[in-house]
A and B are shown apart, each in its own frame.
Chain A
Amino acid sequence: MCDTCGCSADSGAVLRKPGNSDYHVHVSESGHGDHHHEGHHDHEHRDHHHEKKSRTIALELDVLQKNNLLAERNRGYFEARNIFVLNFLSSPGSGKTSLLEKIIPLLQQHTAVAVIEGDQQTTNDAERIQALGVPVIQINTGSGCHLDALMINSAVKELELQDNSLLCIENVGNLVCPALFDLGEALKVVIISVTEGDDKPLKYPTMFHEADLCILNKIDLLPYVAFDVRKCRENAMRVNHHLEWFELSAKTGEGVGAWQEWIENKLKLR
């Protein structure tokens, strides 16, 4: 049972807003606030005295089709309103939120920005983003390990997005599962930090293969860690030779200008 509203939903993602503990929407296919109750399937007693006929039916169905179709719907909506969407992916602690805190004030001068935050629990990240004065919504996935297209579809309905804006989606910190789920974004941005291993792209190749852009964060710490930037970049390029590459520090701001320019170019070109 859901602790907040007392409904019978015992799992599934929940949308939250920072600073408003009453706001609470379950993600469901039938629209917000409408809890989806799974019907109880009575187990039918099989009559073993009758002959059973079995037959095989061809399906040829992509297992991720449902998510992919919904992601395309999201994508169409974003395209129609000229909203540029970036999906940020990394392990926990690579600095996704810090990077957003750094870049958003710089971009905001010319472009409206909104953020969707994904975490298993808490609205901590959404609170940090809200302090920047941009619209933000938190998705708490509960036991879920990734965001999916349905969660984004629901979250977008709760966010007042402006035409010609930038939407940043911060996925759940996880380098495995989110790689498989298209959300309808324009590009995927994978972030690694120099406090991780430089072989990360080889250890988690699916994520690096799916990404369009890789950001190496925390380069201000390079003097203190055994991290080989050249080797890491080489590893990333082995997995995905189309990957674009940036090195920066969200803390000191070093290298952020080049990435800002990249985003502004993308915003102009769309």
Chain B
Amino acid sequence: MHEMSIALSIVEAVEAKAREEGAERISGIDLVIGKLAGIEPESLKFCFSAAAKGTLSEEALLAIQEPEGVGACGECGKLFPVSFYYAECPDCRSLRITIVSGEEFVIQSITIEEQEGE
């Protein structure tokens, strides 16, 4: 369950940014979690609600984008969608595949609420 420690680090990171911006609370957090990032979005959401207790992001909604994995063939250079690390090139059947996308794990943005006129 590494999702719990990850949820805590997300809470910590957005809390710091939100305080810097003078936020009263955080209403939304946009995450990008690639399908090959090794993170279960559902499990992360579950842990997040516990991790965010008593912080500015206690009521924040998590919006998670999950980009598909993309592999590049080391033999013929073809780019193709992959869902596992053990992909095979659909053209030349090579197994020398390098993952070029789908491993991203990024906090894209946060939506904060602040008092009008402050």
Point out residues on A near B: beta carbons under 8 Å: 40-41, 43-44, 46-47, 50-67, 144-146, 148, 176-177, 179-181, 201-202, 205-206, 208-209, 235, 237-241
Contacts and interface: CB of A to CB of B under 8 A. Distances in A.
A227 to B, nearest CB: 19
B108 A58 contact: yes
A62 B85 contact: no
A210 B38 CA distance: 11
Interface residues of B, number: 44
Given A55-B114, A179-B38, A66 B9 contact: yes
B13 A61 contact: yes
Interface string B3-45: 0011001101110011001001101100100001011000000
B78 interface: no
Interface of B: 1-2, 5-6, 9-10, 12-14, 17-18, 21, 24-25, 27-28, 31, 36, 38-39, 54-55, 58, 74, 84-86, 88, 95-97, 99, 105-116
A60 B32 CA distance: 9
Contacts of A66: 9, 12-13
A205 B9 contact: no
A67 B39 CA distance: 16
Given A63-B9, A63-B13, 15 more contacts: A43-B54, A50-B115, A50-B116, A51-B116, A55-B114, A57-B21, A57-B112, A60-B106, A60-B109, A63-B31, A176-B38, A202-B86, A205-B84, A209-B85, A209-B99
Nearest to A202: B86
Contacts of A202: 84, 86
Contact of B114 (A53, A65, A240): A53
Most chain-B Cβ atoms within 10 A of its Cβ — which of A59, A176, A181?
A59
25 contacts: A46-B25, A51-B116, A52-B113, A52-B114, A52-B115, A52-B116, A53-B114, A54-B27, A54-B112, A54-B113, A55-B111, A57-B18, A59-B17, A61-B17, A61-B107, A64-B9, A65-B13, A176-B2, A201-B86, A202-B86, A206-B85, A238-B88, A238-B95, A240-B85, A241-B96
